[in-house]
Amino acid sequence: DAGVTQSPTHLIKTRGQHVTLRCSPISGHKSVSWYQQVLGQGPQFIFQYYEKEERGRGNFPDRFSARQFPNYSSELNVNALLLGDSALYLCASSLVVQGAGEQYFGPGTRLTVT
């Protein structure tokens, strides 16, 4: 069975640009969460979606937005990119709402902002 998949693997953008990252959860999983992992640190929670609704948001500016589609895949959008947005962006899926079950992470998208 396929695990969580993310695309693209790597991405280089310029300051001020916009980026869209994509995630497909494990088949049957209805919850998708997004995390940002800066080099040398643990992942930080950005969003959680469950059944296409936003269920939680971390301490990130409004430049960050996300959505979940009817097939439970998800997109993370970041506008007006800053150098500090350079990080590994991780998507995690779970059967139920976060905290009530195991979360499985994808390989991440490495975003570099120059």
Partner 1 sequence: GESVGLHLPTLSVQEGDNSIINCAYSNSASDYFIWYKQESGKGPQFIIDIRSNMDKRQGQRVTVLLNKTVKHLSLQIAATQPGDSAVYFCAENAYSGGGADGLTFGKGTHLIIQP
Residue 72 exposure: Cα atoms within 13 Å on the Cβ side: 20
Q: Quick one: which of 31, 9, 2, 3 has its CA closest to 89? A: 9
Q: Quick one: which of 13, 40, 6 has its CA closest to 109? A: 6
Q: Considering only residues 66-105, where is the footprint of partner 1 by CB under 8 A?
A: 90, 97-100, 102-105
Does 60 engage in binding with partner 1 (CB under 8 A)?
no
Does 13 engage in binding with partner 1 (CB under 8 A)?
no
Rounded to a whole number of angstroms, the minimum distance from the CB of residue 20 to partner 1 is 19
The smaller minimum CB distance to partner 1, of residues 13 and 30, is found at 30
CA 86, 74, 53, 28 torsion-angle sign: negative
Binding interface with partner 1 (CB under 8 A): 4, 31, 33, 35, 40-46, 48, 50, 55-58, 90, 97-100, 102-108
